[in-house]
């Protein structure tokens, strides 16, 4: 088993529900256990136009090799209607492998740790929410990079329900629309 962290983001359609449903899709995979999910955050697009994004980070335990995990991320994106008409285009769903164990990978279509991990508040803040003492391989403590992203707009999204039990159910995606194929 390998601990991996994925960044999820969306800014088209019902982005918040899409993130909930995507977490359910991940949890339904026999090679994945979802260990933790951050809160949802609303953020301004960076290097792009369009509506605000909703973002979160999930911590996984997986038996999938990193290439299989990448293929699964692409399959789930496709399931939710992801198109790639141009770089940084608005999207129905974006799944990025942020970290995969202690591995460092530098290939044309896959770089881990994610190359912009330490440059984006929408990744660092939710990542640190679920793993406050995280060490990024070859870079150091994740919290050391917070000051460099402090100017980026990010706000934690409050759950519409203040009842802890109902909020927990909603956050696990028990109300998700269908399943992931």
Mean pLDDT of the chain: 87
| Selected residue with higher pLDDT from 45 and 135 | 135
Dihedral sign computed on CA atoms, order 91, 95, 97, 98: positive
Query: For residue 174, what pLDDT is reported?
Result: 43
141 as an active site residue: the answer is no
| Catalytic residue check, 94 | yes
Averaged over 114-136, what is the pLDDT?
A: 95
How far is 57 from 35, CA to CA, in rounded Å? 11
Catalytic residue among 21, 42, 94, 120: 94
Query: Using an 8 Å Cβ cutoff, are 128 and 39 in contact?
Result: no
Which CATH number is 2-172 given? Answer: 3.30.70.560
**Band of pLDDT at residue 88, cut at 50, 70 and 90:** low
| Mean local confidence (pLDDT), 74-87 | 80
pLDDT at 128: 97
Predicted local distance difference test score (pLDDT) of residue 81: 83
On whether the CB atoms of residues 140 and 115 are closer than 8 A, the answer is no
**How many residues are listed for the chain in this entry?**
181
pLDDT band per the 50, 70, 90 thresholds, residue 86: low
pLDDT computed for residue 160 by the predictor: 63
The catalytic position among 21, 42, 82, 120 is: 82
Q: Is 109 a catalytic residue?
A: no
Query: From CA 68, how far away is CA 77, in angstroms rounded?
Result: 14
* Segment holding 122, helix H or strand E: helix 121-130
- Domain ranges (residues) in the chain: 2-172
Pick the catalytic residue from 21, 42, 91, 120: 91
Task: Write out the two tokens for 83.
Answer: 């198109």
């Amino acid at each position: 088993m390998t601990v991996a962290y994925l960044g999820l983001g969306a800014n088209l359609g019902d982005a918040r529900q899409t993130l909930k449903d995507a977490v359910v899709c991940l949890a339904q995979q026999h090679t994945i256990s979802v260990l933790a999910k951050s809160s949802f955050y609303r953020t301004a697009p960076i290097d792009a136009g369009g509506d605000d994004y909703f973002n979160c980070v999930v911590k996984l335990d997986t038996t999938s090799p990193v290439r299989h995990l990448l293929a699964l991320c692409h399959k789930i994106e496709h399931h939710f209607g992801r198109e790639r008409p141009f770089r940084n285009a608005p999207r129905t769903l974006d799944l990025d492998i942020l970290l995969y164990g202690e591995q460092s990978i530098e290939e044309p279509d896959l770089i881990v740790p994610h190359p912009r991990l330490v440059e984006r508040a929408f990744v660092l803040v939710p990542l640190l929410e679920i793993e406050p003492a995280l060490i990024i391989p070859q870079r150091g403590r994740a919290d050391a990079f917070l000051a460099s992203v402090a100017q980026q707009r990010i706000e934690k999204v409050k759950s519409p329900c203040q009842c802890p039990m109902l909020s927990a159910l909603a956050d696990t995606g028990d109300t998700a629309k269908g399943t992931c194929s």
